[in-house]
Amino acid sequence: MTICARSWPLLEPFRGVEGVRGVHSVGSARQLRRLRRRVADSRLDGISIHERLLDSRTVHELREFADVIMTWPVNTRERARELVACGVDGLISDQPDLVHPIAVRAWAA
């Protein structure tokens, strides 16, 4: 089970619960700064972050403390390609028909 929250304290009761992934949602540059300070030497199950906050450098940095990096809203093929190239693990979209072919090519086993 995956639980995602923008109010991070809501995730705390699930920390360490087997079979539950807590995903910290980040929607602003301010929240991203707070997350960086908060995690210091810890590890997060995942991050769901607004696409406008991501570039290759930021994804690389987030990878240091997050197992999964998802991003939203990804509603163009071009941006989906850019984000996949940056190394994100998941695309959240209002236009899944546009990004599905890119995701299949990127993550097909």
Task: Enumerate the H helices of 17-76 as residue ranges.
Answer: 29-39, 56-63
What are the extents of the domains in the chain?
Answer: 2-107
- Reported as a single tens digit per residue, the pLDDT across 81-97 is 999 999 999 999 999 99
Name, in order, each residue with C-beta under 8 angstroms of 29's C-beta and a sequence gap of 6 or more: 53
DSSP-derived pairing of the beta strands 90-91 and 21-26: unpaired
- Reported as a single tens digit per residue, the pLDDT across 40-52 is 778 899 999 999 9
Q: Are 13 and 3 in contact (CB under 8 A)?
A: no
Q: Are 35 and 47 in contact (CB under 8 A)?
A: yes
Token pair belonging to 87: 């190394």
Q: Which CATH class is domain 2-107?
A: alpha beta
Question: pLDDT grade, residue 104 (50/70/90)?
Answer: confident
Report the alpha-carbon distance of residue 68 to residue 58 in Å, rounded. 13
CA distances from 89 to 23, 30, 65, 92 (A): 13, 23, 14, 10
Name, in order, each residue with C-beta under 8 angstroms of 30's C-beta and a sequence gap of 6 or more: none
The pLDDT > 90 percentage for the chain reads 80
> Whole-prediction pTM value?
0.92
